[in-house]
Amino acid sequence: MQPELRYSSPTVQTGLAVDRNKVLRNTYWMLGLTMIPTVIGAMIGMSTNFAFLAQAPIMGPLVMLAVMMGLLFGVSATRNSVVGIGLLFLFTFVAGWWLGPMLQYALHFKNGAQIITTAAAGTGAIFFTLATIATVTKKDFGFMQNFLFVGLILLMIASIANLFFAIPAASLAISAVAVLLFSGFILFDVSRIVNGGETNYVMATMGIYLSLYNLFTSLLHLLLALSGEKD
């Protein structure tokens, strides 16, 4: 009995490539749109009174983490419907609102505006470079999955622990590790789309957005600590 030969015809391969390019294109479009509620949320957050954080410096971040985790699960559960898109935009609005106080704090530095711009430019440069590598080379970076997952868990544990201990040096170390970790996630997420591992552009957008958000906040924290000029 002759062994069965399986192969993909050029037509099938072309169709798969078109589908993957469509997912990547829709992801980038959606990613651009998520910046709108993020900016609106950040503007509102900058004018919001977050006095409760001074009274509850630990519970505040933990409650916000719980809210954002809930929205994440909501997006995942409804990712194939318009509700998922709505929840994605709501999530990015809340993320922007939570970012507001950090931006307001940065603007109290003499060079605060410059630092924010540098952090944003650095985030964009890292994303463009890594996304280009994943797209052009089409290399499968799936082997990074376990490493990134373990790193994320350890980073979350360290971040929560530092809420209680508030050690400045540990905070800087966490931010530095976060820059490397979420850069890896960008490479991994774009690679998954390019190689057909992620076919839902809502989830793809969420993954890349989270990486960009955390990358930006980590860079901003490092730059403020290392080069911020107080009045």
Q: What is the value of pTM for the model shown?
A: 0.87
Q: pLDDT tens track of the chain, all 231 residues?
A: 444 444 445 544 455 566 778 888 899 999 999 999 999 999 998 887 665 565 556 677 778 888 888 999 999 999 999 999 999 999 999 999 999 989 998 998 989 899 999 999 999 999 999 999 999 988 888 889 999 999 999 999 999 898 888 888 899 999 999 999 999 999 999 999 988 888 898 999 999 999 999 999 999 999 999 886 776
Residue 28 lies in a domain: yes
Residue 3 lies in a domain: no
Residue 11 lies in a domain: no
Residue 2 lies in a domain: no
85: left (phi over 0), alpha (psi -120 to 50) or beta: alpha
Tally of structural domains, the chain: 1
Residue 44 lies in a domain: yes
Residue 12 lies in a domain: no
Range of the domain at 62: 17-227
The rounded distance, in Å, linking the Cα atoms of 21 and 11 is 15
81: left (phi over 0), alpha (psi -120 to 50) or beta: beta
Residue 9 lies in a domain: no
Burial of 68 from C-beta contacts in 10 A (0-12 / 13-18 / 19+): middle
Residue 92 lies in a domain: yes
Cα dihedral sign for 165, 171, 175, 177? negative
Cα-based distances in Å from 88 to 31, 35, 159, 171: 10, 11, 24, 29
